[in-house]
């Protein structure tokens, strides 16, 4: 079967293993059923902005045209670095958007992706955020009232634990089990001593030893060596689908990050 449309991030459901779907050309494809089958992706040399639909020669920030990348609050620096939020200065690009996305409860969590990492997400993005990162374990540790506070606390945690994933090890599934609750118990007193009183007052402790989420992914096998496909340099990707993890399709001859190519017009074919 052959399908055609613009790529968007894969939709997920926290089943065991995680269920993956890809909306393409008005159809929702159940990708778990494609494991073990040869697939082919052809980039058709057109990109449409995932926000406004404008045709663009270059994609910014995983699928935006340059005007949207420049003007949208969701593309601002503070989305990647929430401790740099400038809403309170009156300089937010879209105050209404910020009210609905940033001025709402956020969760600070520990996850095991390629090792322990700290992260934040909106409360309604759990467990989607963890799946998108390829986490095999995750534990909510704190709830705060807004993104800015979450960013400040995350920044303090980063002095003691990484906020990054070794994506190659994540895709190889080279991940040892970690007691995330014990990590929290060890690090939180150190972080707490560094925080202002208003942040401590806003932070509701959530961590419990018996509430860790475990996730597993659809896989026949994981790669020993990771070779990443780049649609801008190689317009055709072809191989047997062996696993899906995070936002990656893992083929027998390389991996492709579907989210990275948001807005790219492709044809997708499976046997």
pLDDT in tens, 149-200: 999 999 999 999 999 999 999 999 999 999 999 999 999 999 999 999 999 9
pTM for the model stands at: 0.95
Cis peptide leading into residue 85 (ω within 30°): no
Q: Do 52 and 114 fall within a single domain?
A: no
Q: Do 195 and 95 fall within a single domain?
A: yes
CA-to-CA distance for 159 and 192, rounded, in angstroms?
12
Nearest to 126 by CA among 117, 139, 116: 139
Q: Do 61 and 82 fall within a single domain?
A: no
The SS3 call for residue 21 is: strand
User: What number is the average pLDDT over the span 58-86?
Assistant: 97
- Give the residue from 167, 199, 214 where a domain finishes: 214
Q: Do 145 and 203 fall within a single domain?
A: yes
- Give the residue from 178, 199, 214 where a domain finishes: 214
Under a CB-based contact definition with an 8 Å cutoff, are residues 121 and 154 in contact? no
Under a CB-based contact definition with an 8 Å cutoff, are residues 20 and 244 in contact? yes
Work out the mean pLDDT of the chain and round it to a whole number: 97
């Amino acid at each position: 079967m052959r399908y055609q449309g613009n790529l968007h991030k894969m939709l997920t459901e926290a089943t065991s293993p995680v269920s993956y779907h890809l909306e393409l050309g008005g159809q929702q494809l159940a990708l778990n059923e494609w494991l073990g089958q040869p697939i082919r992706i052809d980039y058709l040399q057109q990109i449409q902005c995932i926000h406004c639909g404008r045709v663009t020669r270059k994609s910014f920030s995983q699928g935006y045209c340059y005007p949207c990348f420049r003007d949208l609050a969701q593309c601002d620096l503070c989305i990647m670095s929430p401790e740099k939020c400038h809403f309170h200065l009156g300089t937010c690009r879209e105050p209404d958007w910020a009210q609905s996305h940033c001025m709402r409860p956020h969760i600070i969590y520990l996850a095991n992706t390629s090792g322990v990492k700290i992260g934040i997400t909106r409360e309604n993005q759990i467990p989607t955020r963890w799946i998108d990162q390829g986490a095999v374990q995750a534990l909510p540790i704190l709830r705060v009232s807004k993104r800015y506070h979450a960013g400040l606390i995350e920044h303090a945690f980063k002095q003691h634990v990484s906020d990054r994933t070794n994506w190659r090890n994540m895709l190889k599934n080279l991940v040892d089990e970690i007691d995330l609750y014990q990590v929290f118990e060890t690090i939180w007193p150190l972080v707490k001593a560094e925080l202002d009183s208003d942040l401590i007052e806003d932070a509701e402790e959530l961590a419990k030893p018996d509430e860790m989420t475990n996730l597993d992914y659809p896989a026949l096998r994981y790669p020993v060596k990771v070779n990443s496909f780049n649609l801008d340099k190689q317009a055709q990707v072809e191989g047997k689908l062996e696993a899906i993890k995070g936002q990656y399709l893992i083929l027998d001859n390389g991996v492709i990050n579907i989210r990275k190519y948001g807005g790219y017009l492709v044809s997708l074919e499976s046997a």
